[in-house]
Amino acid sequence: MDKAGFIAKKFAQLLFTLYAIATFNFLLFRILPGDPLRLIARAGRLSPDAVARLQELFGLDRSRWEQYLIYLKNIATGEYGISITFRRPVMDIIAERMSNTILLLLVATIIVIVIGVGLGIFASMRRGTGTDNTLIVASMVGWSLPTFWTGLLFIIVFGVYLHALPIAGVLTPGAVYTNYWQLIGDYANHLILPTVSLVIVDMAQFFLITRNTLVDVLTEDYITTAKGKGLSPLLTMRRHALPNAMLPIITTLALYVSLVIGGAIQVETVFSYPGMGKLMYDAVLRRDYPILEATFFLMASVTVLANFISDVVYRLIDPRVKNI
Amino acid sequence: MVISKKKFALLMVVIMVMATVFGCGSADLQSSGGDTLRIGWNSEPDTLNPLTAYSSESMQVTYLIYEPLISYDTDLEFVYKLAKSFEYSNDERSITYHLQEDAFWQDGEPFTSADVAYTYSLIKDEELGEAAQFLEYLDSIDTPDDYTVTFNYSEAQAFNCAPVIPILPEHIWGEMTADDIEIFSNDNPIGTGPYKFVEWSQGATITIERNDDYYGEAPGADRIIYILYGNEDILIQALKSGQVDIIPEVTPTLWESLEGVENIEAVSLDSFSFHQIGINVDTRGNSGGNPMLLDKEVRKALNYVADREKITEIVLAGHGEPGSVLIPDGLKEWQYQLSDDERMDGDIEKAKAILEAAGYKDTDGDGIREKDGKKMEFRIMASEGSAVDVRAAQIFRDSAKEAGIKLTLTSMDENTMGDLIYDAEHPDWDLYVWGWDSEYPDPSYLLGIPLTSQIGMNNELYYSNPRYDELYSRQSRETDENARNVIVKEMQKMFYEDGGYIILWYQDKLQAYRTDTWTGWEPCPGGLIYGVTYENYLRVQPVE
């Protein structure tokens, strides 16, 4: 199969997966017991007429099939309707929070890859030494620390005792900025603790997979040959070892994208970070269907997309999967 | 070797560069200038539409922007806002308000009686929001001139609902239909109040600033910022480290941790709220509840089983009063005081005696009583999001076991539980633990829960007692406070004896503030803020 055909096939699979996810999401929240208007009616002591008007406004009085079709149309057009809680278009609510979450994840992911892969290379070249063992143990410890716990610890140490770093939000409330650099600095300052909390936990997987793959690769005959040709260890690493170790790293990356979203929800809650995490959590409790449908669909899409990209990249860099 | 060291050095450089980039910049940030009151909360408002919003966070913000005609001060006495004075007609069915003549909307338009008439008719005609329940008997509204408005009711009104109705600008809201208003998030609220809306940064902060054109006395804070925190523990840390000035809601355990902390005052105030075990007493014929609960003697026994003092001590760490009747002790003289004979509380022997006498006996020796071949087994639900409710249910379950009643506890999320409880077609449950909050310093709201007319709405017990209903409408028309007090107390006694609610406790409102930033917080039942009064926002002054 040629490359275009392969990508087209993968893309068709991608679309089908998204459709299946969308349908599953719809059913999941409608089957879940509970009612988006029940608690609103209780808190506001609404009359049955007022409740009926709300049901009509949010289309909750329609049949499941009708609601499903409207929902599919919404997804296809990128419109997700109006939030039952916030009474504003769902896309408005999500846009800002989504960008906060993406920024956090992007910064964290880059650092995780750079440090994780870097340390993996470093350790693989010193296999069996004290440094190698220390790094392995340290990364395992980091991996096993619960994010909410490290987060809380950072808050108490750096926020409360040292007063060195902000513990919540993305910007200092009420701050006045005289120039853009101050704004960016404030933003960056707020990113430090959440990012470090994510990095400590997530770095280990990249470190370990890089180190272990490289340790295997470095014992291969062609490495010995390369060394025998007189290549420097750096060149051996770059030309012969790393390319062969890339595949598991890419797989890890694709898996990581789906895992990091879960981690971000925890970190966002601990650091009061205005991202998607708390929005989704509250929306589940309130059964805010439009927000739930949009956020879960977007999150699932990111995961599916990451897998799609890794499949394609895999095919491009690994000659062995050409004929699959 | 050499190379790997280089690589490591490179990494270190990358880390250091990142640290420098991140680390600089905000240490020298200027403060906003002037005095900012910072309030920490852990839940965000739904909308800023004062008619349809249902979160207390939303009310906190909108009531500083939109004003009612009158409001409550910290002694729960009326304080004038958009009205300068008011008087009742001789038959007490009409109330005339004389309005502020120098009040303006924040967009410069003058405020007049037409705005008042518009707001009240909108709420009544379209049944918009919570206040609609109080305007049921409103017949007509007269506006003889721009600064006088008269409400004519078909029956005298014991409760003056003006403090819970914010006045809206007709020139902005007038063109919207009820449907429009339901989905109106009101992103740029314009009111007459002491504060103007500045910004809502979603998921983070809401900022309001002093309205310099306000007709009344200028409040102390230049601006008020509400800051959202992800959870209660972080909120406490933010208070300790001086990033917020006041926390309006503190859990009992965290409250204890604040006692004796320098520059922090933790306060415990009476509230208008209670938590209860509700019993399904539906007799309409389609209930899935255990029919044994329809036997008043069984409900009595369950009331005796609940040791309110023990539960309050364990669950709330003592930050509440053991419960009894429907009206919490925050409502002071409205509360009926039970005599020792009337009180059904924490006496398992008595519960056993009642059950024995009513024919519920453990004949097969398995520790569970039975009658007519049916075992005394009930289901009890609690909201998993509320640790205090689950704990209370566990204690109650264990006490019930001693009395020979088997309870099976299920915890579920609040929404699921609400759906089961309020399923008026087929209420398939026996007992639950939940709570009610009232934001009115008046007994009407809480007394109104078990009305027959509230079945399908707030009456989640499906309790129906024509005598109770009749007393309710009598008290709502009784403008003589002493006469009304007698009826209100009779209703509490009646409902208590029927045993539909096992009221566990009246929780205290626990709050905490910093003493080194703002001063002048005046204690008030219901809360310094977040309760019935908004005067503390206006009263506090920066510490010199």
The complex scores an ipTM of: 0.84
**CA–CA dist B538, B211 (Å, integer):** 12
Beta bridge partners of B98: B85, B148
Nearest CA in chain A to B228: A272
- Tell which residue, A33, A90, A31, A32, has the closest CA to residue A58: A90
The pLDDT value recorded for residue A321 is: 65
Strands, sheet with B138-145, edge to edge from the N-terminal-most edge strand: B83-88, B94-99, B148-153, B138-145
B8 contact residues in A (CB cutoff 8 A): 118, 122
Tokens of A295: 């956020």
Phi, psi angle pair for A280, to nearest 5°: -65, -40
* B281 and chain A in contact, CB less than 8 A: no
A282 contact residues in B (CB cutoff 8 A): 43-44
Interchain contact, A46 vs B457, CB within 8 Å: yes
Q: Which of residues 225-284 of A touch B (CB under 8 A)?
A: 232-234, 237, 268-275, 278-279, 282
**CA–CA dist A23, A17 (Å, integer):** 10
Interchain contact, A182 vs B25, CB within 8 Å: yes
Percentage of residues in chain B with pLDDT exceeding 70?
94
DSSP B52: T
Token pair 């004896």 is at which residue? B497
B233 or B78: which leads in pLDDT: B78
Extended strands (E) in A107-214: none
Tokens of A28: 């999941």
Does position B99 have pLDDT exceeding 80, yes or no?
Answer: yes
Does position B23 have pLDDT exceeding 50, yes or no?
Answer: no
Interchain contact, A122 vs B4, CB within 8 Å: yes
Interchain contact, A38 vs B233, CB within 8 Å: no
Q: How distant, in Å, are the alpha carbons of A20, A260, B50, B417, B534 from that of B46?
A: 31, 28, 10, 22, 20
| 8 A C-beta contact, residue B390 and residue B397 | no
Does position B21 have pLDDT exceeding 50, yes or no?
Answer: no
- Selecting from A43, A125, A287 the residue whose C-beta is nearest the C-beta of B415 gives A287
Q: How distant, in Å, are the alpha carbons of B138, B328, B352 from that of B161?
A: 11, 20, 46
Tokens of B451: 């009305």
- Selecting from A115, A185, A270 the residue whose C-beta is nearest the C-beta of B11 gives A115
Instruction: Please say whether the dihedral angle defined by the alpha carbons of residues B226, B229, B231 and B232, taken in this order, is positive or negative.
Output: negative
| 8 A C-beta contact, residue B342 and residue B493 | yes
A32 contact residues in B (CB cutoff 8 A): 416
> What is the nearest CA distance from A16 to chain B, expressed in angstroms?
32
Interchain contact, B52 vs A191, CB within 8 Å: no
Interchain contact, B23 vs A172, CB within 8 Å: no
Residues B296-318, mean pLDDT to the nearest whole number? 95
Collapsing DSSP states into helix, strand and coil, what is residue A82?
Answer: strand
Residue-wise pLDDT tens digits, B493-540: 999 999 999 999 999 999 999 999 999 999 999 999 998 999 999 999
A319 or A290: which leads in pLDDT: A290
Residue-wise pLDDT tens digits, B401-426: 999 999 999 999 999 999 999 998 99
Residues B363-391, mean pLDDT to the nearest whole number? 93
Does position B184 have pLDDT exceeding 80, yes or no?
Answer: yes
A215 contact residues in B (CB cutoff 8 A): none
| 8 A C-beta contact, residue A197 and residue A151 | yes
Segment among A29-38, A201-210, B144-153 with least mean pLDDT: A29-38
The pLDDT value recorded for residue B480 is: 92
Residues A124-147, mean pLDDT to the nearest whole number? 90
Cβ neighbors of A210 (< 8 A, separation 6 or more) are A116, A117, A119, A120, A121, A124, A245, A249
Collapsing DSSP states into helix, strand and coil, what is residue A7?
Answer: helix
> What is the nearest CA distance from B290 to chain A, expressed in angstroms?
22
- Residue A45 pLDDT level (bands cut at 50, 70, 90): confident
B418 contact residues in A (CB cutoff 8 A): 34-35, 38-39, 42
- Residue B307 pLDDT level (bands cut at 50, 70, 90): very high
Residue-wise pLDDT tens digits, B454-496: 998 889 999 999 999 999 999 999 989 999 999 999 999 999 9
Interchain contact, B29 vs A172, CB within 8 Å: yes
Segment among A122-136, A259-273, B13-27, B359-373 with least mean pLDDT: B13-27
Segment among A311-320, B297-306, B341-350 with least mean pLDDT: A311-320
* B85 and chain A in contact, CB less than 8 A: no
Side-chain half-sphere exposure of A213, counting CA atoms within 13 A: 24
> What is the nearest CA distance from A79 to chain B, expressed in angstroms?
16
The pLDDT value recorded for residue B16 is: 46
Tokens of A222: 């062609």
Residues A147-173, mean pLDDT to the nearest whole number? 87
| 8 A C-beta contact, residue B328 and residue B506 | yes
> What is the nearest CA distance from B69 to chain A, expressed in angstroms?
21
Interchain contact, B203 vs A278, CB within 8 Å: yes
Does position A73 have pLDDT exceeding 70, yes or no?
Answer: yes
Residues A142-150, mean pLDDT to the nearest whole number? 88
